[in-house]
Amino acid sequence: MSVESNVRVVTTHRLAEMKAKGEKIAMLTAYDYSMARILDAAGIDVLLVGDSASNVMAGHKSTLPITLDQMIYHAQSVVRAVKRALVVVDLPFGTYQGNSKEALASAIRIMKESEADAVKLEGGAEVIESVQRILSAGIPVMGHLGLTPQSIHKFGTYTVRAKEQAEAEKLVQDAHLLEVAGCFAVVLEKIPASLGTRVASELKIPIIGIGAGNGVDGQVLVSHDMMGITHEFSPRFLRRYLNLYDEMKEAVEMYVKDVKSSDFPNDKEQY
């Protein structure tokens, strides 16, 4: 189903309205113009220019290597394509942790150079000073708690987070801290479903889950995972809606065969 031109543009205020009305929020990642144009036309509410571009676009094993300049490039490409969705851009590793002035400078660069709508960063109390400084400049901030991929070397694993009571309570406290600071939404990644439901019920701002159960206010997936372009990654929370890896591979194999057999181009495909 395509989106008509008179459909309301998604803003942070619109997301708050959606939560208040019990309307679920659909969010996917995007890194380039062509994909973003399709996702936006399909009616996606939020497009995340994720630092997962480090994995799916550049082939790195983690999100850590991607730079601020690279994130801005991807964000510019996505923003050019979008007519309706809210565009959120990840602040990459090293651009906000431990230095709130650098965090603000990084966020300002993203907003000025890409014309995106908001930024996202990982962490709670540890980064609250950076969150507050960015918000003080009028830049909307989305939080991210639970499994935080930029901290992979700290945790050493991508396993489910906050299963123990102490970590779960800290997550709840951090979520409240982010809301009080002024974040417009929070992503919860790979935590028990019951904890996701609790956070969504306690907070007034939208809670977007990725492996956080169905009791939150919306869901986000990496587009390349959801469409089956990547095929090695199969966590429990992932539903594949397509198997593009095999379909694209088969199409290329057919093209190679047709070229080598001189079947392509045929008489109708040349001048």
Residues forming the active site: 189
CB 127 within 8 A of CB 97: yes
d(CA 161, CA 163): 6
d(CA 163, CA 237): 16
d(CA 153, CA 187): 20
**CA distances for 45 relative to 5, 29, 197, angstroms:** 14, 11, 21
* Phi, psi (degrees; rounded to nearest 5) at 119: -120, 160
**CA distances for 193 relative to 51, 168, 214, angstroms:** 24, 12, 7
Compute how many other C-beta atoms are within 10 angstroms of the C-beta atom of residue 76: 17
Q: Where are the beta strands (DSSP E) in 82-190?
A: 86-90, 118-120, 141-146, 185-189
d(CA 97, CA 156): 19
Residue 76 is encoded by which pair of tokens?
A: 């510019």
